[in-house]
Each structure stands twice: as C-alpha cells, then as structure tokens.
Amino acid sequence: MIGVHSAQVIREAEDRFFEENPGADLMQIAARAVSDRAREMAPTGVTLVVVGPGNNGGDGLFAARNLAAAGRPAVAWLVTGQAHPQAVIAARQVGVKFVDSSTAMHMLPDVMLVIDAVLGIGGRPGLFPVVERFATACDDLCIPVLSVDVPSGLSTDEVTPTATSFRAAHTVTFAAPKLCHVGEPAAERCGSVEVIDVGLSLPEPDVRRLDEVDIARWWPWPTAVDDKYSRGVLGIDTGSERYPGAAVLSTTGALNAGTGMIRFVGPERAANLILDAMPSVTIGPGRVEAWLMGCGWGKQDRDAHAARLQAALESGLPAVVDADALEHLPKTVPDGWLLTPHAGELAAMLGVHRRVVEVDPIRHARQAAARWNTAVLLKGATQYVVEPSGRVTIAVPGPAWTAQAGSGDVLAGICGMLLAAGLPAWQAGALGASVQAMAAAHKPGPFPPAVIARTLPEVLGGLWTTLRSRAFVLPVEQ
Ligand SMILES: NC(=O)C1=CN([C@@H]2O[C@H](COP(=O)(O)OP(=O)(O)OC[C@H]3O[C@@H](n4cnc5c(N)ncnc54)[C@H](O)[C@@H]3O)[C@@H](O)[C@H]2O)[C@@H](O)CC1
Ligand SMILES: [K+]
C-alpha cells in the first residue's frame, strides 16, 4: 500500500525537513534520479530539457548538467527566460547548450528524449501557448517525454485534466504519488510512474493505493480447519426474468472467488441457468452470512425491488448493494453494507449530473459514504473505496478491457464472497475490485466478463502459491 499525498502535504513535509536539516539539498537527489532515468530512456542522441521558472525547472537543469557532465549531449530551453540561478550556472559550466523556443521546436524531430521540467507541484493547470504547442508537437512526433514530478499542465491534486499538458512516457515523482499519478484519466498522461524517496516524513495518508502484497495479506485464504460454512455462506438475490444473465455473472464471480457456499434466491429462470452452469450452487433460502442484491433487477417492477431489498435490510446482515437496488436505498443502512455504484448511479443517488461525479469522483464518493454512513465502491477506470470517515482506498488498477457490460455483476459477486467471509465492507470492495483487475491483467484481451471471472482461481492460486513459498516479504500490519 502506498500513500497518495497532496501538493500541500508534500510542501509542509518539505518545510519541516529543511527546518530540521538546514542546508540539505533535495534538488540534487531529484536531479540525479531524473538524469539516471533519462540515460536509460535515451542511451544515445540529444536530450532536450524544457525548463520552467521554479524548482521543477531546477531539477531539470541539474539533470541536464548531470547528463552533460557524463558526456551526453543536453540542450536546455528556458521557457520564461528565467530559471533556478545556481542550476543555470552549473549547466553552463559543463557545456549544456541553451536554445530559444523556435530552435527548440525546430530541433524537436531529431531529439531522442524531452525532459519536461516546466512545472511541478507549484504549477497551476495549463501551459503558456508556446509550451502548449511544443507539448502537442512532442505527442504528434511521438517523441518520448520524461516528466519531472508531474506532467506540466496537469493539476497535481486532480484526476481530471482541465487543460493541455505534456503526455509523459515516464514520470519521476518525489516523496509520494499525487492524485494525478493514480487517478484516471490524468494518470494515463503520466505514463509509468516512479516514486523517489527524498527523505521526507509524511503523515498518515487519507488516500492509499493497494498493491498485490496487500491483496495477498488480506485475502481470506482457507485454513486447514475450514469448512464450507466457516468460509462464509453468501445469499444471492440478483437477476430478473428480463436479465437472468446478471444473476449468472454475479454468481460466477462469487463462486470463482472462492465462496464457501452460495444460496441463490432470485427468479426461477435465472436459478435454472445457474444450476446448469454451476451445479454446486444451492437454490432456495437458508442461513447466510451476507447478501448480494441488485444486479440485473431491471427498471420494471420497482415495488418488488423495494421488497427484495427490504429482506436484506431486515436481516441486518452485511450486503453488497449494486445496480438497480441502489435506487431503493433507505435513509440509513445496516453496518457492513457495501454500495457499488458506477459514476452514473452515484450521480443519481446524489441527485447531480454524471459529469460532475466524473470530474471529482472522490468528493462525491465521500458524500455518499457520509450520507449513508457506509462504504462506497465507486467503479470505473480507477476504483475508489470510500469509508464514512472519508478515508479512500484505491484498488490495484487493471486494463480497460473490463469496461464491458457484465463486469460490474462479476465484481459484485466477488465482493459478496468477501463480505460473507467476514471482511469489513471497505476491504471487500477494495480487494474485490483489485483481484478482478489482476485477473484482467493476467488474461489481456477482449475476454467477456465470465471468462475473466473464471480466471480468478488461477490468479488467486498463483498469489497463494507465492505467499506459501514466502516469496513475498509481508510488511508488518499498520
Ligand atoms: N517537495 C519535494 O519533495 C521536492 C521538490 N522538488 C521540486 O520542486 C518542485 C516545486 O517547485 P516550486 O514550488 O518552485 O514550483 P514549480 O517549479 O512547480 O512552479 C512554480 C513557478 O511556476 C510559475 N507557474 C505556476 N503555474 C504556472 C502556469 N500555469 N504557467 C506559468 N507559470 C506558472 C509560478 O509562478 C512559479 O514561478 C517540485 O515539483 C519538484 O520538481 C525537488 O527539487 C526536490 C524534492
Ligand atoms: K514537470
């Protein structure tokens, strides 16, 4: 798990660091990381460094100095004509060549790498027109860009770009990732992201991103003494006469994630399809540990939906509440409910336009988690799980192949399995979304959601085998 921090938090940590370590030079650590990566990205040819007026430009210019000192041709364009004074002197001393905007643009087709050091965490979104044209030309000519800290033009703390920015092949950032590095669609403009530890002490993050080690550590692996009941019994009430497939997909997700026992209580047509495909599923009511509701209920027969949700409500058990069931939420919900809307469903829950949610997904997911006092998994290209406290956990990202009808049903099923196994709602949401993404990454291509669901045993089995062979060194639980 890695903490995601805002520009403000990084600045405060930097101020504390300099108070405690007067005279320390973080810029040299940053510049070294940038020049090392630049040498790998462009082993030969000219590197053009685009330099802004602040410390981000200082990082870039010292990186140019490092390259030139190592005998690599480096050229710098100071976009405002001004830059970090010591860095300018250091770069000149080792023969970095300084060029103006028209020369930079003219030579662009022949450079091997552009280092974007225009703006970092002190930048406002957007670029000067001449830099905007240059960033667009880098894109058009497919010149690889290495961004320092953040691709200039992006807003560090936002996931939705509002202006033209550089589009990096790789970003070297410092101390911690920021929201623009981990939240789509901004993250896609950062390319691969590398975090350099510069020695700052950071506070407990309120936004964290999971990695595969967290999944291995938290997954409810079966123990030697487990039986089908102790692993968790999941009640599933999904599908309708019109959409029986959603019931099959949600059950496929739950079964392939490893549910101890499934009791399906949905419509008969769906039950017959499920039995044909998954004979281990039990049809009919009985004792369960958690519920899965809502997938494929459809827009007809709303009174019946309200009654179906009421049954889960009265049980007081944890429940995954998905899709059409989200339209029937009472004012308060029992402990341990996991609401799993996509942006459109969350917008409807909050009475706002979908675009508003897409622009600031975390704020809106936080609103819903606070209003219903329960965990919310906001599905999409980046999947955010928000707890009523406002803490955000971002799932392991996966390829966009899963953007397909039916993926949400499978995901709801996986989350249902995790609730039935006894995990808290936020963890069930974060793990469920992560393993589905890992399965899609394991089997890249236009595979339908059921195939991705059937890849889960392989992915989970691989994780379990790695864990048992102790190839993972698990960090101590925080
Ligand atoms: N905080 C850290 O841990 C470290 C920070 N360092 C670097 O320091 C950077 C932050 O430096 P600064 O605070 O000087 O900020 P920046 O270098 O990001 O930019 C600030 C300058 O750009 C101007 N500016 C901002 N937005 C603009 C826009 N849209 N168009 C035109 N001009 C604009 C500002 O007026 C100011 O002059 C980081 O991004 C990083 O590269 C590293 O040197 C060392 C480690
Ligand atoms: K930058």
445, pLDDT greater than 90: yes
If you count them, how many residues does the chain have? 478
β-pairing, 384-386 with 392-394?
antiparallel
Q: Where are the domains of the chain?
A: 2-207, 212-468
ipTM: 0.97
Confidence (pLDDT) at 302 = 81
Q: What does the alpha-carbon distance between residue 309 and residue 307 come to, in Å, rounded to a whole number?
A: 5
Ligand nearest to the CA of 199: 1
Of 59, 7, 49, 51, the residue nearest 29 (C-alpha): 59
DSSP 231: T
Q: How far is the CA of 120 from the centre of ligand 2 (A)?
A: 5
Strand partners, 196: 174
User: Ligand 1 pocket check: which of 55, 79, 82, 194 to mutate, most ligand atoms within 8 Å of Cβ?
Assistant: 55
DSSP letters along 142-201, please? T--EEEESS-TTS-TT-SS--S-----SEEEEESS--HHHHSTTGGGGG-EEEEE--S--
Confidence (pLDDT) at 476 = 60
Fold of 2-207: Rossmann fold (3.40.50)
- Read off the pLDDT of each residue in 22-34 and give the average, rounded to a whole number: 96
Residues with CB under 6 A from ligand 1: 10, 14, 26-27, 30, 52-57, 59, 119-124, 126, 128, 148-149, 174-175, 198, 200
User: Ligand 1 pocket check: which of 8, 32, 78, 119 to mutate, most ligand atoms within 8 Å of Cβ?
Assistant: 119
Q: Which CATH code fits 212-468? A: 3.40.1190.20
% the chain with pLDDT above 70: 98
The C-alpha R_g of the chain, in whole angstroms, comes to 25
Q: Tell me the pLDDT tens digit for each residue of 340-356.
A: 999 999 999 999 999 99
Is 408 annotated to bind a ligand? Reply is yes
Strand residues in 210-318 grouped as ranges (E): 233-237, 261-264, 282-283, 290-293
Q: Cβ neighbours of residue 49 under 8 Å, at least 6 residues apart?
A: 60, 61, 63, 64, 74, 75, 76, 77, 96, 114, 115, 117
Q: How far is the CA of 149 from the centre of ligand 1 (A)?
A: 9
- Read off the pLDDT of each residue in 384-408 and give the average, rounded to a whole number: 96
Q: Ligand 1, residue 153: give the atom nearest the CA.
A: 29
Q: How far is the CA of 55 from the centre of ligand 1 (A)?
A: 5
Q: How far is the CA of 52 from the centre of ligand 2 (A)?
A: 8
475, pLDDT greater than 80: no
Q: Whose CA is nearest to atom 13 of ligand 1?
A: 122
Q: How far is the CA of 13 from the centre of ligand 2 (A)?
A: 20
Q: What does the alpha-carbon distance between residue 277 and residue 384 come to, in Å, rounded to a whole number?
A: 32
Q: Tell me the pLDDT tens digit for each residue of 257-308.
A: 999 999 999 999 999 999 999 999 999 999 999 999 999 999 888 888 989 9
Q: Cβ neighbours of residue 455 under 8 Å, at least 6 residues apart?
A: 439, 440, 442, 443, 447
Q: What does the alpha-carbon distance between residue 382 and residue 396 come to, in Å, rounded to a whole number?
A: 9
Of 322, 310, 283, 315, the residue nearest 408 (C-alpha): 322
Which tokens belong to 403? 């953007």
